[in-house]
Structure 1
Amino acid sequence: MLQRTFCHIPGIGEVTERRLWERGVLTWEDLSRGAQGGGNGALWRDEATMSRERLLAGDADYFGERLRPGEAWRIFPDFRDRVAYVDIETDGGPGQVVTAVALYDGKTARTYARGRNLEDFEADVAGYDVVVTYNGRCFDAPVLERGLGVRLPRAHIDLRCVLGRLGITGGLKTCEKHFGIDRGELDGVDGYFAVILWREYEHTGDEAVLETLLAYNAADVIGLETLLVHAVNEALLATPFAHLYSLPVPTPGDNPHTPDTSVLRRLAGRYLGGRHGGWNRRKKTRGETF
């Protein structure tokens, strides 16, 4: 799909891109040898040539810097084997101290915890050309750079922007439910609960609490590829190329950590009482008590 994309070129927006497709200008090669664009024709031909060169060089950042956030999904098919799905947790304080990070590459999920191996994340994520997050442009990326000095790739697919363009809004868990992704025992656990888990771990050093936090963090990344492929397939329906580039939807990856339900029950009862709208209430409907 990227080689049929023109909306990253100066002077070409979505309307002009569609008109070019309708005229049979379907690839960069078509654009570079055609007579489209009037006074912009020479610029468009040069940009099409540059786009081919940058793709051959594997320069995902070139496209990440030029595509609007809602159109960044177009990068994915050509760089799928070089994508890192990333999510962070913080301590909930005003300084937003990073407590845990999860990284998934479509096969294996890895986690990093403060005081353990958090410093390893920078070198690991540097091995990828594209990053996928949910709301990471506004949160994860700036917090990682400010707190850890880690810069994510400029080729950044923020699913909040991509799904929002498709009319699918809400938080990550809401979007997962829209596509039938089930978190099992972690269903209803949210970012606020993750803060509680970290503070409990800091206070007690209980490994079961940390394991539960890391399981939640990993759950935030192992479904991102599934969401992204759903988004790519839906976005393709608005182009003439769905029959060429639609992808089979993968299942979420394996979580390397196991949440401790006794930890979840204990902390929900202690800190959330009957006010928690997610995990607490779900468990009560099954006849469980805290």
Structure 2
Amino acid sequence: MLESTYIHIPMIGATIEKRIWKSGVRTWKEFLSERDNICIPDKKKSLICAGIVDSIDRLEAKDHSFFARSLPSSEHWRAYSHFSDKVACVDIETTGLAPGHDRITVVGIYDGKEARTYVKGIDLEEIVEELPKYKTLITFNGARFDLPFIKREFPEIEFDQLHIDLMYPLRRIGFSGGLKKVEQMLDISRSEDTTGLSGFDAVRLWREYERGNQRSLEILLEYNREDIVNLKTIIDMVYDKLVENKYSQC
């Protein structure tokens, strides 16, 4: 999908992009070879050709930050297949919903192979070194919740990555509601210990752990691990549908 994208080029919007697709041209290389047959102004063609040459160079260099800056945040998902080798599915647990008052208790990071959980009072500060290693972050409602919470507690972290907040592209293809509801719609199951748990339960489990219940922490970490692993499962399941939906709009 990224190599069929034009809206990241300065002065090129969704209308021009859709006109290009409607002409039968999808990829950057197709545009360069078929430019004379595309019905858009010559000035726009010149801008696009220059943008394509630059984009090809940036993609070959795996310059994720270029696409993170130039793509609208709602369209970062388009780059997923090109940067999925350096992806981190991220989810946090907190003591509540107020960033100015509540604190992070757990941060989970899943790179597609290993799920790791970082815990307040044990190793939470290690995320400062860990998160910058990735080129793409995947969250659910992370733009409003997870990443601002992390940035408030760890302002030294610079989030220059591509960020795919799955909540929004999922809505476009008919999967609305919270993460657990989306999992149910996609027939993704959870373990016996975590089925039916919510964010409010995560707060309760942490409080029980603070009172000495180690088992509550184990369940909380399992709950968090399932969140991050399921994020990867979901994007892999729906990515083609997101692409089809985008093309269907032209």
Q: TM-score with structure 1 length normalisation?
A: 0.77
Alignment of 1:183-202 (within 5 A): 183-185=190-192, 186-202=194-210
Name which one, 1 or 2, has greater alpha-carbon Rg: 1
1:137 matched to 2:168? The reply is: no
Cα distance change, pair 153–179 in 1 and its aligned pair in 2 (3 A): farther
How far apart, CA to CA, are the structure 1 residues paired with 2:245 and 2:224? Answer: 33
2:159 is the alignment partner of 1:155? no
Which of residues 64, 69, 74 in structure 2 aligns to 1:65? Answer: 69
**Which structure 2 residue ranges, 5 or more long, are not aligned?**
none
> Which range moved further: 189-198 or 6-15?
6-15
Pair 56,25 (structure 1): closer, same or farther in 2 beyond 3 Å: same
Check the 8 A contact 1:70/1:165 in 2, yes or no: no
Gaps of 5+ in 1: 242-290
Check whether the contact 1:73–1:157 (CA below 8 A) recurs between aligned residues: yes
Secondary structure (helix, strand or coil) at the match of 2:211 reads: helix
Query: Is the 1:69–1:161 Cα contact (8 Å) retained in structure 2?
Result: no
More displaced stretch, 46-55 vs 36-45 = 36-45
**Which residue matches 2:96?**
92
Aligned partners of 2:86, 2:7: CA distance in 1, in Å? 23
User: For 1:3-30, what per-residue CA distance to the aligned partner results, in whole angstroms no more than 9, with x for missing partners?
Assistant: 1222322343444323212324322233
Tell me the residue number matched to 1:268: none
Give the conservation status (yes or no) of the 8 Å contact 1:134–1:172. Answer: yes
2:50 pairs with 1:46: yes
Paired residues in the alignment total: 240
State whether residues 131 and 152 of structure 1, in contact with CA within 8 Å, keep that contact through their aligned partners in structure 2. Answer: no
CA RMSD of aligned residues (A): 2.0
Distance 2:146 2:97 in 1: 15
Give the equivalent residue in structure 2 for 1:282: none
**Counterpart Cα distance in 2 of 1:145 and 1:70:** 20
- Indicate whether 1:223 and 2:230 are aligned: yes
Separation in 2 of the partners of 1:239 and 1:92?
Answer: 36
Distance 2:238 2:148 in 1: 24
| Deviation string, structure 1 residues 41-72 (Cα, Å, up to 9, x no partner) | 22211111111111111111222233334422
Highest RCO, 1 vs 2 (Cα 8 Å, sep ≥ 6): 2
CA distance in 1 between partners of 2:166 and 2:27 (Å): 26
**Secondary structure of the structure 1 residue equivalent to 2:117:** strand
The TM-score with structure 2 as length reference comes to: 0.88
1:171 aligns with 2:178: yes
Distance in 2, matches of 1:153 and 1:212, equals 32
Once the two structures are TM-superposed, the CA of residue 135 in structure 1 deviates from its matched residue by 0.6
Give the match's secondary structure for 2:175: coil
What does residue range 202-221 of structure 1 map to in structure 2 within 5 Å?
Answer: 202-204=210-212, 206-221=213-228
Identity among equivalent positions (%) equals 38
